[in-house]
Structure 1
Amino acid sequence: MSNKTRRDVLKTAAITTATTLVAPAFVRGQNLNSKIRVAVVGMGGRSNAHGASLVELEKESTAGVEFAGVCDCDEAKRKAAEKFWGDRSGHAIKTYDDMRRVLDDTSIDAVTFATPNHWHSLNVIWGCQAGKDVYVEKPGSHNISEGRKMLEAARKYDRIVQHGTQCRSSTNIVEGIKKLHEGVIGDVYFARGIAYKIRGNLGKHAPRPVPAGLDWNAWCGPAPVHEFSNFQHRRWHWIWDFGNGEIGNQGVHQMDILRWGLKLDTHPIQASAVGTNYMQEKVHQSSAQTPGVLSTSIKWASGQMIEFEVRDWYTNAEAGFRDKYPFVQKDFPVGAIFLGTEGTMIIPDYSSYYTFLGRKREEGPNAFEEGSPISNLPHFRNWLEAVRSRRREDLSAEIEQGHMSSALCHLANIAYRLDRTVNFDPQAETFIDDAEADALLTRPDRKGFTVPKEV
């Protein structure tokens, strides 16, 4: 694998191909009615939703999409995905062992990334630089600085980039947020999100040889190369170098809903957080680093504020979550709560909302779907429709929204790690006279996988 950065390669190529990098292949050289050829990078858990959505969209004549390829740096996963998705789709699926080969393939128009968090921003940047449209899993960034670079790349190369916060494509939740904005519960003065998910023993770091067929260097990518273990490879959500804890895993969905409902289109000015990793450290004695319990308060210049709470073990529910209004994972209370001058609204899953009016909490407008499904298919359909229209405003979760919502999770984690309140400059995206906090806005560069200062 070359240590030459993606930007170095593209800088050279841009001399002769700059005019072709502003549009995907199906716009550049083919009929606008031809199929959009999509490859999926990363064969982890979320890739199942990516692949299943593309298979379903292939059946829709109006979607005009072809599930063209899969990529993973793990040979076993790659081969399994080739067979599985080939069987599901009924046609051959091309495989790639390096995402850069996907990006160099001019027959690929768009790429979806189901990689670990530490890769997300560089995925988007490289994809945009290569002239591909992009769908990236949540959170869009591993840190705030990289989130900004991701957004800059989407703008510079005029790419259609969708963020994987699928609630934005739920018809019911869109309806609920519209009613919230119209005043169904009066003036909304406060919002709170929770993600209470029992995690159990996450395991210990026990170094072992890298399995045959896995390119561990590529898997680590822009993060430091850790000594391999099954814990490092499979429990990355709970390791600071790779993940962002539960607030960045599940919580980003609810953070996004809170921002959306409160019409918060700027960064906050202050964040505080306290927490503990008691269950993992003291009871399970695992190697998990991120907090299992986290309580966060975030404030905006307007005076608006939100609270967010994470728990990882046995707990009571709130607002009827789990017990009356089950989440897609039935044992876990997860959701968003809005308090207004005339009532309350709850969003307890990915596809419903409920309102309760007045002191007696009389049932107001609501909408739900049985089974609390995740709006994966509508979210991918929306992305591909925008790829055709070339209008980023058509996207349900355009990457700027992803950057803003992911940043809330990062601010909460920074406040927790420093064990104090932090004051943030929303325009500069830096902390105010706080070098210690600023150091957590980014991470050290790694040769060959550097997130560029200029995209």
Structure 2
Amino acid sequence: MSQLNRRRFLKTSAAAASAVMAAPAIGRAGQSANEKLGVAIVGVNGRGGEHINEFLNDERTEIRVIVDVDEAVANRRCDDIEKKQGLRPKPVSDMRRAFEDNAIDLVSTATPNHWHALTGIWAMQAGKDAYVEKPVCHNVYEGTALIAAARKYGRMCQVGTQCRSSKAVIEAVAFMRNGGIGEVKFARGLCYKRRKSIGARGDYAIPANVNFDMWSGPATLTDPKCTREKFHYDWHWQRHYGNGDLGNQGPHQTDVARWGLGIDTHPSTILTYGGRLGYQAERNDPNYVDGGDTGNTEVSIYDYGDKCMVFETRGLSVDDSDDEELNTLFQSKSGNKVGVVFYGTEGTLVQVSYEHCLVFDKDMKVA
């Protein structure tokens, strides 16, 4: 594959997404049960480390390529993997090099959100199966393109909504399906989790080891290039690259809520209100402008006609809450409250953690 300049890179990316939108599905070749699956992991500075651990613990797979735009991170991960699996993966900064490699069968990606969909599309175009971290895409259009790509190229594309594999959540959904809390038409997903300000918006240096053009990829370039103090992770709170907790924590809770409500369609309407609030008061500086622009206080209402789902983000202090209902359901007045509440005609069911659910009767007593 020839090298692409940034302008052509973006044009090619857009064309790839457009091409798969109207593409028909085709069949796929099988993989020998006696061969190890070759894995390429894209984006390994943060969440990608968990991907590494999972594949190292799966005897069916072998990590053969590590992709990261930070050369130092890629080499450090490759050194660690070599100690555990014997084979040292090949470090590369351009994911397209991994997709060209015939030794790669599947691609697992934990890049920033703005790269998720295109990574999956390119991987499937190259004949690889893909595991894409949540959120599966940065916007609805990208998600539709991913589905079309999977159908056209006959590939598997799995999303990191691992609550679907939680024994507690599986049992909770089955309990509701069997009428455990009566008729259920309303669910609230919650991310009441303290998120501090990320520092003043400014002009910050790109880390020396980072290939910023590859990191930025399909996102528009800004001037200055980096406006946040902490380059890694805090991209979550800038819309060019992340989605705030609506796209960080939210996919888990909204997925469980939809699952529990028995919904497999898009909502007819969505209403969202909120903002990035409180940091000027927190810093006692009325002129302070935070580097983030996603909502830290936000409510999204998803209307499905006869059913409704809400997702709430509260990123300021979550201690000493006056919300008696949620204090009862989560059995605490302080600390994070991250989960889903299902309201039924005969009781309430709450997912209080990834592995723990509670049922309350109509008198708000644990059933």
TM-score by length of 1: 0.70
Q: Separation in 2 of the partners of 1:339 and 1:45?
A: 36
Secondary structure of the corresponding residue to residue 231 of structure 1 = coil
**1:172 matches 2:172:** no
Higher helix content, 1 or 2? 1
Q: Residues 198 and 230 of structure 2 are in contact (CA less than 8 Å); yes or no, is this contact kept in structure 1?
A: no
What whole-Å deviation, never above 9, does each CA across 1:325-353 have from its counterpart, x for those lacking one? Answer: 79xxx931111000111111111111222
Could you say which residue in structure 1 is the equivalent of 2:337?
A: 333
Could you say which residue in structure 1 is the equivalent of 2:314?
A: 311
With over 3 angstroms needed to count, the CA separation of the structure-2 counterparts of 1:182 and 1:322, relative to structure 1, is closer
Aligned partner letter, 2:341: I
**1:103 matches 2:99:** yes
Aligned partner letter, 1:112: S
What whole-Å deviation, never above 9, does each CA across 1:424-450 have from its counterpart, x for those lacking one? Answer: xxxxxxxxxxxxxxxxxxxxxxxxxxx
Offset, 1:23: 4.0
Q: Separation in 2 of the partners of 1:166 and 1:142?
A: 19
Q: Separation in 1 of the partners of 2:291 and 2:10?
A: 33
Q: Separation in 1 of the partners of 2:218 and 2:11?
A: 14
With over 3 angstroms needed to count, the CA separation of the structure-2 counterparts of 1:254 and 1:287, relative to structure 1, is same
With over 3 angstroms needed to count, the CA separation of the structure-2 counterparts of 1:269 and 1:73, relative to structure 1, is same
Q: Residues 56 and 84 of structure 2 are in contact (CA less than 8 Å); yes or no, is this contact kept in structure 1?
A: yes
Q: Separation in 1 of the partners of 2:253 and 2:271?
A: 18
Offset, 1:357: 2.4
Secondary structure of the corresponding residue to residue 335 of structure 1 = strand
Secondary structure of the corresponding residue to residue 231 of structure 2 = helix
Offset, 1:282: 4.7
Secondary structure of the corresponding residue to residue 112 of structure 1 = strand
The percent identity for this pair of structures is: 35
Q: Residues 121 and 146 of structure 2 are in contact (CA less than 8 Å); yes or no, is this contact kept in structure 1?
A: yes
What whole-Å deviation, never above 9, does each CA across 1:87-137 have from its counterpart, x for those lacking one? Answer: 233432221221000111011000100000001111111111111101011
Secondary structure of the corresponding residue to residue 219 of structure 2 = coil
Aligned partner letter, 2:276: N
With over 3 angstroms needed to count, the CA separation of the structure-2 counterparts of 1:340 and 1:129, relative to structure 1, is same
Could you say which residue in structure 2 is the equivalent of 1:36?
A: 37
Aligned with residue 84 of structure 2, among 80, 85, 88: 88
**1:131 matches 2:124:** no
What whole-Å deviation, never above 9, does each CA across 1:208-255 have from its counterpart, x for those lacking one? Answer: 443333110110101012313553732111111111111110111100
Offset, 1:22: 5.6
Offset, 1:8: 6.3
Could you say which residue in structure 1 is the equivalent of 2:19?
A: none
- Unaligned 5+ segments in structure 1 are 12-20, 59-63, 364-455
Could you say which residue in structure 2 is the equivalent of 1:444?
A: none
Aligned partner letter, 2:240: D
Aligned with residue 148 of structure 2, among 148, 152, 159: 152
Q: Separation in 1 of the partners of 2:227 and 2:295?
A: 21
Offset, 1:196: 1.0
Offset, 1:319: 3.2
With over 3 angstroms needed to count, the CA separation of the structure-2 counterparts of 1:131 and 1:22, relative to structure 1, is farther
Q: Residues 228 and 292 of structure 2 are in contact (CA less than 8 Å); yes or no, is this contact kept in structure 1?
A: no
Q: Residues 198 and 228 of structure 2 are in contact (CA less than 8 Å); yes or no, is this contact kept in structure 1?
A: no
Q: Kindly report which structure 2 residues correspond to 1:179-190, keeping only aligned pairs within 5 A, or say none.
A: 179-190=175-186
**1:2 matches 2:1:** no
Aligned partner letter, 2:270: A
- Unaligned 5+ segments in structure 2 are 17-25
TM-score by length of 2: 0.86
Give the structure, 1 or 2, with the largest relative contact order (CA under 8 Å, sep 6 or more): 1
Q: Separation in 2 of the partners of 1:175 and 1:323?
A: 19
Offset, 1:360: 5.4
Q: Residues 358 and 366 of structure 2 are in contact (CA less than 8 Å); yes or no, is this contact kept in structure 1?
A: no
Q: Separation in 1 of the partners of 2:332 and 2:166?
A: 17
Aligned with residue 65 of structure 1, among 61, 66, 80: 61
Aligned with residue 324 of structure 1, among 312, 326, 331: 331
Aligned partner letter, 1:336: V
Could you say which residue in structure 1 is the equivalent of 2:245?
A: 246
Q: Residues 276 and 293 of structure 1 are in contact (CA less than 8 Å); yes or no, is this contact kept in structure 2?
A: yes
Could you say which residue in structure 2 is the equivalent of 1:295?
A: 299
Aligned with residue 228 of structure 1, among 213, 226, 231: 226
Could you say which residue in structure 1 is the equivalent of 2:20?
A: none
Q: Residues 281 and 288 of structure 1 are in contact (CA less than 8 Å); yes or no, is this contact kept in structure 2?
A: no
Q: Separation in 2 of the partners of 1:232 and 1:155?
A: 39
Secondary structure of the corresponding residue to residue 319 of structure 1 = helix
Q: Separation in 2 of the partners of 1:271 and 1:213?
A: 41
Q: Residues 202 and 291 of structure 2 are in contact (CA less than 8 Å); yes or no, is this contact kept in structure 1?
A: no
Secondary structure of the corresponding residue to residue 33 of structure 2 = coil
Q: Separation in 1 of the partners of 2:109 and 2:56?
A: 16
Q: Separation in 1 of the partners of 2:77 and 2:168?
A: 33
Task: After the TM superposition, list the runs of 4 or more consecutive aligned residues in structure 1 that deviate by more than 6 angstroms.
Answer: 6-11
Secondary structure of the corresponding residue to residue 267 of structure 1 = coil
